[in-house]
Structure 1
Amino acid sequence: MKKILGVVAVILMVVVVAGSAAVYLYLDSFSKKKNTGNEAEAQPKAVKPGKPFNVLILGVDIGTVGSKNGPKRSDTMIIVHYDPNSSEMSMVSIPRDTKVTINGSVEKINAANAYGGTELAVKTVEDLLDIDINYFVEINYEGFRKIIDAMGGIDVVIPYNMNYDDPAQNLHIHFTKGQSVHLNGQKAEEFVRWRKNNNGSGYAEGDLGRIQTQQDFMIKVIEKLKSPSTVLKLPYIMKILPEYVDTNMEPMTMLGLSKDLPKINASSIQKYTLQGDPKYIGGISYIIYKPEKNKEIIAALGIENVSDSTLEVDKSAIKIQILNGSNVNGAASKLRNALKKKGYNVVSIGNISGVDLNNSYIIDKTLKQGNANAVASELDISHIEKKQDKLSKVDILIILGKDTENIINNI
């Protein structure tokens, strides 16, 4: 199911082929799609043009068998980080058994969507990783099958013997290891959902092993989307997408992304899986997220790259220190005056001797939610370092480089 990312790429391909005005109205139909049942939809966090952003991809299960609009868990959760400046993309899969707290209770992270729709799913991921999720894209199994069929299917080599039957879901998976197979939508769903056989054999790491297979499948989908044969199928793909795909991404953002699609090299996409320790709690298996094991992964999500956040903060309550490392006289004083006019609380300024920095950056000393993002957005600074200091008398430390003049002019 992890090739949900391919759905995003399909949307972008659509834009390349069709006229701008018509495409805008077409793309707008995604964000105006009406939810049913219990779902609460997450609101987008706007991003300045050219700035990196994160998209949470949700592949939802069938819910309660026989109930079309019942609560649906997210069997697939992937954060896609995209940097328009470099056309580089990273994706981080979140194991569905990752332990989180929802409404005061211990839960697996895939339950968030069932309890509170995309709004709670996005919030849960943000709280777990301390990052911003700017947009979401959601698709169900039926939509996945339809889209793979519309693309003309995907060719794969089967990595394991796969033999699994679940009569309750009418799910029957049978593939032979080493076999080259052309997968239609139904067979593709079976391939990416398989985790174990009827006899208990399967991926040694369970769901973590399945994630790797699903990520490899996603790459094949993206490669297929860029092929000339797929372009000819776009009219039909355009027709079915709005029925099965839901997103809060603004049409203009999708239009902008379309220009970058040809630049994205599928083979260079960085693939990660969130790391943690397995543990049984109350007889239920969880994965306990460990921040110290995920430093590279969080960096891949661009935690240092700031997007605009809708979180409201009290500017006067943010204690800021400014240190001038630009070797430009008076830079810290000028920035202090500019920030005070905006309502921020600058408690001290100073100089850093012996350095000559090119780019300014921010150090978040207290990790109070929203503070660093608010200041960084105000100054258009893209680099944030999180270094918690419980003894610090300031919340935010701004280190100025030679770009200070541009920063002050942007306030």
Structure 2
Amino acid sequence: MTSSPNSGMPSRSSKKPPKKRRGLKVFLWFLTLILLIGGGIIGYLYVQFNGLIGDVAADSPNAAPVPKGELASEKPKTLLLLGLDSRKQTHTMLTDVIMVVTLNPKTKHATIVSIPRDTRMEVPGFNRVSKANSYYAAFHNKNDYNDPVDTNMKSFFGKYLDVPIDYVSTINFQGFREVVDAVGGVEVDIDMDMRYTDSADGTDIDLKKGDNQLLNGDNALDFVRYRKSNHGTGASSDLERNARQQQVIHQLVDKLKSFQGITKINGIFKALGDNVSTDIQEEQLKSFITTYIGISNDNIEYIPLDGTWKSPYIHIDEQQLEAAKSKLKATLEGSQ
């Protein structure tokens, strides 16, 4: 205690109340700052979101609005996601990444089935037996197929997995690179040394085995593409590539949910807008993003199909295929 200079007795006045008031002011100041920052981020996101999403979506000027009951926030949906190798140097149109995704807005659960690029495909109604990654190019041939490419792709892979596919989105190699760079790279465990070069298209894959490696867009693409070596490192199967795709997907999901990922939304949408084609309408795309923006990796079930290699195809195990179909349907029904 302090003494009064006049009486020598302990002072009845205390400095605690002013301290409390000062503490309250500091708390309110911080609270105000947090709200201002939060409001700024929300406002920033709203402007960026609405300004950029139209660059990705498929709307025509006279597009009809999506019925409320059909929005992704209200109804489970199925997407076909394709990673397209369409480099000018190779003159190819191969979908080397093929995934079918079911999403349920009530359970916030997603199931992703990955189909190896070399899978032997034979689907009723399509007079063709070939590798899974060749159909995108085949459907461009108007002499054999009259329907639009997207329509055929949805019908074909929907019949293969026995689920109705609502939408298809295709991203090319450059888009993948730019998205990874936009989020600051992805950290992965590289399971083997990878070395391959090709002077024809400029490929120069040079990755070393090791855990927790931060890869930029170029190296991340090399990581998921690597199949064979011409410099003494081991070969890699489609099934191993699928496992690497899973790693990268999980990393991207975590990055996109983070504070840093949110603030980089401009670069992410620019990368997508320049390199993605989709038949998802703008209103529907907004519904997808706002519904699943916070989805946890724990709620994403990734099922890479497996099988037996008999050159030149992978023959998918029938039991695995039936189990994958059941998982996709369970997600749509909300019973997973």
Q: TM-score range by the shorter chain?
A: 0.7 to 0.9
Partner of residue 168 from structure 2, selected from 125, 136, 159: 136
Tell me, in whole angstroms, the C-alpha distance in 1 between the residues paired with 2:187 and 2:315.
35
Equivalence for 1:299: 326
CA contact (8 A) 1:97 1:110 kept: yes
Q: Does 1:266 align with 2:297?
A: yes
Query: What secondary structure, in the 3-state scheme, does the structure 2 residue paired with 1:122 have?
Result: helix
Tell me, in whole angstroms, the C-alpha distance in 2 between the residues paired with 1:16 and 1:135.
29
Query: What secondary structure, in the 3-state scheme, does the structure 1 residue paired with 2:329 have?
Result: coil
Structure 2 unaligned spans of 5+ = 1-40, 61-65, 140-148
Distance 1:202 1:290, change over 3 A: closer
CA contact (8 A) 1:109 1:124 kept: no
Distance 1:263 1:232, change over 3 A: closer
Equivalence for 2:313: 286
Equivalence for 2:107: 86
Tell me, in whole angstroms, the C-alpha distance in 2 between the residues paired with 1:182 and 1:62.
26
CA contact (8 A) 2:257 2:294 kept: no
Tell me, in whole angstroms, the C-alpha distance in 2 between the residues paired with 1:237 and 1:269.
21
Q: Which is further off, 212-221 or 153-162?
A: 153-162
Tell me, in whole angstroms, the C-alpha distance in 2 between the residues paired with 1:25 and 1:243.
14
Distance 1:174 1:16, change over 3 A: farther
CA contact (8 A) 1:16 1:258 kept: no
Structure 1 unaligned spans of 5+ = 1-13, 35-43, 307-381, 384-411
Q: C-alpha deviations, 1:298-330, integer Å up to 9, x for none?
A: 122126847xxxxxxxxxxxxxxxxxxxxxxxx
The letter of the residue matching 2:80 is L
Equivalence for 1:163: 195
The letter of the residue matching 2:327 is A
Tell me, in whole angstroms, the C-alpha distance in 2 between the residues paired with 1:178 and 1:291.
34
CA contact (8 A) 1:153 1:185 kept: yes
Q: C-alpha deviations, 1:97-140, integer Å up to 9, x for none?
A: 11124852321111111112333322221222221111111100
Distance 1:66 1:161, change over 3 A: closer
Equivalence for 1:76: 97
Partner of residue 31 from structure 1, selected from 51, 57, 63: 57
Partner of residue 230 from structure 1, selected from 245, 261, 266: 261
Equivalence for 1:187: 219
**Aligned-CA RMSD value:** 3.0
Q: C-alpha deviations, 1:365-402, integer Å up to 9, x for none?
A: xxxxxxxxxxxxxxxxx89xxxxxxxxxxxxxxxxxxx
Provide the identity percentage: 27
Query: What secondary structure, in the 3-state scheme, does the structure 2 residue paired with 1:218 have?
Result: helix
Tell me, in whole angstroms, the C-alpha distance in 2 between the residues paired with 1:25 and 1:64.
30
How far did 1:265 drift?
Answer: 0.8
- Greater helix fraction, Structure 1 or Structure 2: 2
Equivalence for 1:336: none
Equivalence for 2:228: 196
The letter of the residue matching 1:60 is L
TM-score (ref. length: structure 2): 0.72
How far did 1:61 drift?
Answer: 0.6
CA contact (8 A) 1:91 1:272 kept: yes
CA contact (8 A) 1:77 1:96 kept: yes
Tell me, in whole angstroms, the C-alpha distance in 2 between the residues paired with 1:33 and 1:181.
39
Query: What secondary structure, in the 3-state scheme, does the structure 2 residue paired with 1:19 have?
Result: helix
Tell me, in whole angstroms, the C-alpha distance in 2 between the residues paired with 1:238 and 1:65.
26
How many residues align? The count is 276
Equivalence for 2:184: 152
How far did 1:251 drift?
Answer: 2.1
Greater RCO between the two (CA within 8 Å, min separation 6)?
2
Equivalence for 1:110: 133
How far did 1:25 drift?
Answer: 6.4
Equivalence for 2:288: 257
